[in-house]
Chain A
Amino acid sequence: MNRLAEIIRRDLRLALRQGSDSVMVVTFFVLTVVLFPFGLGPEANLLERTSAGVLWVTALLASMLSLDRLFLADYEDGSLELLALTPTALELLVIGKVAAHWLTTGLPLIVAAPVLAVLLHMNADGFATLLFTMLLGTPTLSLIGAMGAALVLGARRGGVLLSLLVLPLYVPVLIFGVGAIDAAVQGLPAKAQLLLLGGMLVAALPLAPWAAAAALRQALE
């Protein structure tokens, strides 16, 4: 557990000092969402109807932006070898890295989402559900993404390959994230969708680090 805290602390420190990734992800999220009113026109009804989908699809793409760096820097400078030789399960260290990734990219997205929801005229009834779906959904995105990032290590054009691998796996999160918000906006209960999102997180929490650690060991051979 100490080791888990240690690696989260290191990755947060690295992210804070290098600074670029979190800023880039949030800026991409904001800029892309702002494009939609220009493209679709300022009609409030249309924006309101599409707001949940626009926010979730953009958040999905934004969270993918920083994924290819997740293990690549450690792989290139030899840190990954030493991490694999730490006297603890590699899975635990993967969880630590994913946690740090989520804190630096997922959390800023959640903070930015309500502001953008206002811009898209989202019905105020949907705000709480929007936050809740993102809180449940973005950690799942980071976990699935870590699996993809570990698999493409050492591949040429890893970034493109990564999106091809990961985007299909993101689809269930997208469907139920948007579904929950739509239900809440129409005054229907969103509990079922939220439970499904929670279930996906609970399933990804042990499975994704396990798969990612296996892929990392393969990459080091």
Chain B
Amino acid sequence: MTEGPLSSTFSADGLACVRGERVVFAHLEFRLTSGEALFLLGPNGSGKSSLLRLLAGLLKPAAGRLAWDGQPVAEDREAHAARIHYVGHHDAIKPVLSVLENLRFWARLHDPEAGDARAQAALERFGLWHLRSIPGKLLSAGQKRRLNLSRLLAAPAPVWLLDEPSVALDKASVRTLEAVIAEHRAQGGMVVLSTHADIDLPDAGTLYLDRFAPRPAEAAEAWI
């Protein structure tokens, strides 16, 4: 899929995130190698979305560093952007563009060489090919989410960052997503995802974000 060593690592060291005046998490670390998946778990507000945005490069860490094969990610933002696919809370679908036009735009923007064959395969996989000429405004919430997920397949990228990808999906689509993720990992891809629903990924690691939350008691003790 990509040049370079067959196995890559994506790692974080001493990562801290500050939103507003509040420290969301600190001293967070993990290490992912090709083929691995990582679940982000934690109550609301524990920083799952913030961590994913941070990994994507939308947020800057307050401390710590992210590295790809030991190289700091911040040194080359564009190379990092080429490695990742980010699926956030919004589906980024234009109401007046058709399903295929929406997907083709994002695929070509990510990789100008992305062919239409891949876009078709992606839409078929998520059961949207028969809706390809329907404008985005007519899609249901679940169909929009599936179209957003089709981006993952329409242009290749080794790291998938998925923020609650199963929201609005029916059971069959969740199974499809699981299968797509399994194939991606079999090809050496990595997945980081947060979820409240049941997504079943065999031998995926877990990261409990509340473990990295700053404890008020500790902070108070430090003063005494």
User: Which B residues are in CB contact (< 8 Å) with A83?
Assistant: 109
- CA of A221 to CA of B60, assembled, Å: 8
Q: Mark A1-29, 1 if CB is under 8 A from B, else 0.
A: 01100110010011001100000000000
Q: Could you tell me which residues of chain B, from 85 to 104, have a CB within 8 Å of some CB in chain A?
A: 86, 88-94, 96-97, 101
Interface segment out of the listed A74-82, A113-121, A131-139, A155-163: A74-82
User: Which B residues are in CB contact (< 8 Å) with A88?
Assistant: 78, 81
Interface residues on A, range: 20 to 34
Contact (Cβ within 8 A) A87 B110:
yes
Q: Mark A70-98, 1 if CB is under 8 A from B, else 0.
A: 00000011110111111111000000000
- CA of A2 to CA of B113, assembled, Å: 9
**Which residue of the partner chain A has the closest CB to B81?**
A87
Is B182 part of the binding interface, using a Cβ–Cβ cutoff of 8 Å? no
Contact of A10 among B86, B90, B105, B112 (CB under 8 A): B105
Contact of B112 among A6, A79, A81 (CB under 8 A): A6
> Given A2-B108, A10-B105, A13-B101, is A77 in contact with B91 using a C-beta cutoff of 8 Å?
yes
Contact (Cβ within 8 A) B89 A78:
yes
- CA of A87 to CA of B86, assembled, Å: 12
User: Which A residues are in CB contact (< 8 Å) with B81?
Assistant: 85-88
Rounded to whole Å, the gap between the CB of B20 and the closest CB of chain A is 11
Is B74 part of the binding interface, using a Cβ–Cβ cutoff of 8 Å? no
User: Which A residues are in CB contact (< 8 Å) with B79?
Assistant: 87
Number of interface residues of B (CB under 8 A): 28
Contact of B109 among A7, A14, A89 (CB under 8 A): A7
Is A46 part of the binding interface, using a Cβ–Cβ cutoff of 8 Å? no
Is A220 part of the binding interface, using a Cβ–Cβ cutoff of 8 Å? yes
- CA of A92 to CA of B110, assembled, Å: 14
Rounded to whole Å, the gap between the CB of A13 and the closest CB of chain B is 7
Q: Could you tell me which residues of chain B, from 23 to 59, have a CB within 8 Å of some CB in chain A?
A: 56-59
Contact (Cβ within 8 A) A86 B110:
yes
**A to B CB contacts below 8 Å, 9 in the list:** A2-B108, A6-B108, A10-B94, A17-B97, A78-B92, A81-B58, A81-B92, A87-B81, A88-B81
New contact pairs (16) apart from A77-B91, A221-B59, CB-CB < 8 Å? A3-B108, A3-B109, A6-B108, A6-B109, A14-B94, A76-B90, A77-B94, A78-B92, A81-B86, A82-B86, A86-B81, A87-B78, A87-B79, A87-B82, A221-B58, A221-B60
